[in-house]
Amino acid sequence: MLRKITIALASVGLLAGLTACGSSDASDKSDGPLKVAVNPVPHGEILKYVKDNLAAKAGLKLEIVEFDDYVQPNTALVENQVQANYFQHVPFMQEFEKAKGKKLTFVAPVHLEPLGVYSKKLKDLKAVPQGATVAISNDPANQGRGLKLLADNGLITLKPGAPTSATEKDIAANPKGLKFKALKPAQLPRSLDEVDLSVINGNYALKTGLTPAKDALALEKAEGNPYANGLVTLPGKKDDPRVQKLVKLLQGPEVKKFIQDKYQGSVLPSASS
């Protein structure tokens, strides 16, 4: 009797395994919805505009999956939980590829969120005191980006040829004796009560009520900026008709106008939009 039960259970397990192997996610089919992982602001807002106003006419079904950090959107993509994501720039994607040994494809740029330097204690970067504490991102791509912004505004000097993933070791001169505090990007706005300056990513600045175009003491320039956020997918999905339809919409005139009207210079359409 025990042997019969064991065989029966094994058969059920085998059947379940075959069913699982044979099943497929409906959203992976070309006529299913395209699942896109985003950060809520501004990426989720921009994609929601596309979904509500443009997608149906283009014959595109969209499903938006929101994450509050910079880790889960890529994890969801490589695990095939989504077919694309929209939250990152090329240097960040390259750091992910190097760290995880995974290959992604940056399909097209959409917008730039200018990185900004913010403070609750100072009104001008000329007033930065000796030994001031500066909060910067702890992820390599955005940390290097933040250090470059500080260098562009005369607070530090980077070594010649410093990479996009520059760290404190790449600082050639620090005349103010700045002390750096590396934090997760989402924590940077909250650090303003504790530090003299905080270098904050545009999406987290917007989400916490800051207006980059008005509140930042220094803001990245759009010209020649390699940090445009765009649509990313897996190499085998870059030619998916749904992905190509979404690229066309995201780079179209309607989305460009939406970004300009809604964000008033705090988010900028990419040069390709």
Based on the domain organization, do 95 and 180 belong to the same domain? no
- Token pair of 177, please? 């004796």
Residue 133: inside a domain, yes or no?
A: yes
Residue 191 sits in a domain whose CATH number is: 3.40.190.10
Based on the domain organization, do 52 and 126 belong to the same domain? no
| Residue 112 · residue 43 · CB < 8 Å | no
> What are the beta bridge partners of residue 111?
229, 269
pLDDT tens-digit profile of 16-41? 333 333 334 445 666 799 999 999 99
Rounded Cα distance, 204 and 183, in Å:
13
Band (221; pLDDT cuts 50, 70, 90): confident
**Strand 197-200 versus strand 116-118 pairing type:** antiparallel
pLDDT over 70 (residue 205): yes
Rounded Cα distance, 153 and 37, in Å:
34
pLDDT over 60 (residue 7): no
Based on the domain organization, do 89 and 152 belong to the same domain? no
Based on the domain organization, do 88 and 57 belong to the same domain? yes
pLDDT over 60 (residue 109): yes
Based on the domain organization, do 207 and 238 belong to the same domain? no
Q: Which long-range contacts (CB under 8 A, 24 or more apart) does 101-105 make?
A: 102/74, 102/78, 103/234, 103/235, 104/74, 104/77, 104/78, 104/232, 104/233, 104/234, 104/235, 105/232, 105/233, 105/234, 105/235, 105/237, 105/238
Based on the domain organization, do 43 and 124 belong to the same domain? no
Residue 139: inside a domain, yes or no?
A: yes
pLDDT tens-digit profile of 115-174? 999 999 999 999 999 999 999 999 998 999 999 999 999 999 999 999 988 999 999 999
Residue 10: inside a domain, yes or no?
A: no
**Strand 229-233 versus strand 133-137 pairing type:** unpaired
| Residue 46 · residue 250 · CB < 8 Å | yes
pTM of the model: 0.81
Residue 181: inside a domain, yes or no?
A: yes
Host domain of residue 134: 116-219
Peptide bond connecting 42 to the previous residue in cis, omega within 30 degrees of 0 = yes
Based on the domain organization, do 234 and 106 belong to the same domain? yes
- Token pair of 197, please? 């300056």
Residue 253: inside a domain, yes or no?
A: yes
pLDDT tens-digit profile of 233-252? 999 999 999 999 999 999 99
- Token pair of 160, please? 């010649």
Residue 7: inside a domain, yes or no?
A: no
Where a domain ends, among 202, 219, 236? 219
Percent of the chain predicted with pLDDT > 70: 88
Based on the domain organization, do 145 and 120 belong to the same domain? yes
How confident is the model at residue 224, as a pLDDT?
80
How confident is the model at residue 31, as a pLDDT?
73
CA distances to 93, 137, 154, 251 from 187, in Å: 21, 9, 25, 31
Based on the domain organization, do 120 and 213 belong to the same domain? yes
Residue 188: inside a domain, yes or no?
A: yes
Which of residues 11 and 174 earns the better pLDDT score? 174
Residue 24: inside a domain, yes or no?
A: no
Based on the domain organization, do 92 and 178 belong to the same domain? no
CA distances to 3, 81, 106, 185 from 204, in Å: 60, 24, 22, 8
As for how many domains the chain has, the answer is 2
| Residue 61 · residue 51 · CB < 8 Å | no
Based on the domain organization, do 92 and 167 belong to the same domain? no
| Residue from 203, 224, 92, 218 nearest 150 by CA | 218
